[in-house]
């Protein structure tokens, strides 16, 4: 992919602007706020509460990008003394120099965060790596379209592709169907978009769909639970 540059969003956290797509990697109203709300609170925390607070779960992410969602997930695992296996797809990895300038590790007093963030980006692709006893990471340098579904299924799926008007193919029924197959029964699909077509498609696949309040600056978001 072409050039990306660092921007500062309204909550002070960084994001990236993709010049060719004319699209940001996160909400301009706050990258950190958005990731925490859509993926951590409405995704992982919701699933854990629903399932009786299990101490192990498996997360799948479409679009690793800056690694912010992976970092927040590792942080949650550490703070709650639980163990998370995190699998993520990224066909267009970012340059190390760019990653090293992102201010995500500065959002907490935990000195370990910088090291975790660094390791998320440094570790090898295509193999499970135990970054910490509480966080195992598998990064695939692949498009969702090329990811082969095996037997492995996940509890929570972070759908963090570029917006439907920028990357329509990832919001088509065939892509969403793959997400459905990747989830266990009761598994949670969560995304920042609240498009009507997305909700209809998720329902048609067998998700119970909820429209939830979005993060600051965004009215709504969507969550689906696999029935
Ligand atoms: C909205 S940004 C992701 C934000 C990311 N989760 C973060 O916190 O930085 C979308 C990401 O999806 C990646 N992507 C693009 N095409 C993809 C595809 N076909 N399958 C999976 N990921 C894709 C992009 O390179 C980009 O990193």
Whether the pLDDT of residue 56 is over 60: the answer is yes
Quick one: which atom of ligand 1 is closest to the CA of 63? 12
Q: Is the CB of 66 within 6 Å of ligand 1?
A: yes
Q: Is the CB of 84 within 6 Å of ligand 1?
A: no
Structure tokens at 76: 């949650």
| Span 159-207, pLDDT tens digits | 999 999 999 999 999 999 999 999 999 999 999 999 999 999 999 999 9
Q: What is the pLDDT of residue 107?
A: 85
Q: Is the CB of 91 within 6 Å of ligand 1?
A: yes
Q: Is the CB of 162 within 6 Å of ligand 1?
A: yes
pLDDT band for position 1 (50/70/90)? very low
Whether the pLDDT of residue 112 is over 90: the answer is no
**Separation of alpha carbons 194 and 19, rounded Å:** 24
Whether the pLDDT of residue 2 is over 70: the answer is no
Ligand 1 center from residue 125 Cα (angstroms): 16
- Judging by beta carbons within 10 Å of its beta carbon (0-12, 13-18, 19+), is residue 227 exposed, middle or buried? exposed
Specify whether the CB–CB gap between 142 and 91 falls below 8 A.
yes
Mean of the per-residue pLDDT values of the chain = 96
Q: What is the pLDDT of residue 67?
A: 98
Q: What is the pLDDT of residue 33?
A: 97
Q: What percent of the chain has pLDDT over 70?
A: 99
Question: Mean per-residue pLDDT for 92-109?
Answer: 93
What's the Cα-to-Cα distance from 167 to each of 3, 21, 57, 63, rounded to whole Å?
Answer: 17, 9, 29, 12
Structure tokens at 125: 């692709």
pLDDT band for position 22 (50/70/90)? very high
N- to C-terminal Cα separation, the chain: 36
Q: Whose CA is nearest to atom 2 of ligand 1?
A: 25
Domains of the chain (ranges; CATH) run: 35-226 (3.40.50.150)
């Amino acid at each position: 992919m072409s050039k990306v540059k660092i921007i500062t969003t309204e909550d002070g956290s960084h994001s990236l602007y993709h010049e060719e797509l004319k699209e940001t990697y996160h909400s301009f109203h706050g990258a950190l706020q958005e990731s925490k709300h859509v993926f951590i609170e409405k995704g992982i925390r919701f699933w854990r509460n629903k399932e009786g607070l299990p101490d192990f779960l498996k997360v799948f992410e479409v679009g690793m990008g800056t690694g912010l969602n992976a970092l927040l997930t590792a942080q949650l695992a550490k703070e709650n003394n639980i163990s998370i296996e995190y699998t993520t797809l990224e066909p267009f990895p970012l340059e190390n120099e760019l990653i090293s300038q992102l201010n995500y590790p500065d959002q907490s007093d935990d000195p370990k965060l910088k090291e975790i963030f660094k390791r998320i980006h440094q570790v090898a692709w295509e193999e499970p790596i135990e970054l910490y006893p509480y966080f195992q990471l598998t990064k695939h340098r692949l498009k969702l379209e090329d990811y082969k579904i095996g037997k492995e299924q996940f509890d929570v799926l972070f759908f963090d592709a570029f917006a439907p008007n920028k990357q329509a193919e990832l919001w088509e029924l065939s892509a969403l169907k793959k997400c459905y197959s990747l989830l266990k029964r009761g598994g949670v699909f969560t995304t920042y978009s609240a498009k009507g077509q997305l909700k209809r498609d998720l329902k048609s696949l067998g998700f119970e769909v909820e429209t939830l309040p979005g993060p600051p600056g965004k009215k709504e978001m969507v969550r689906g639970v696999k029935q």
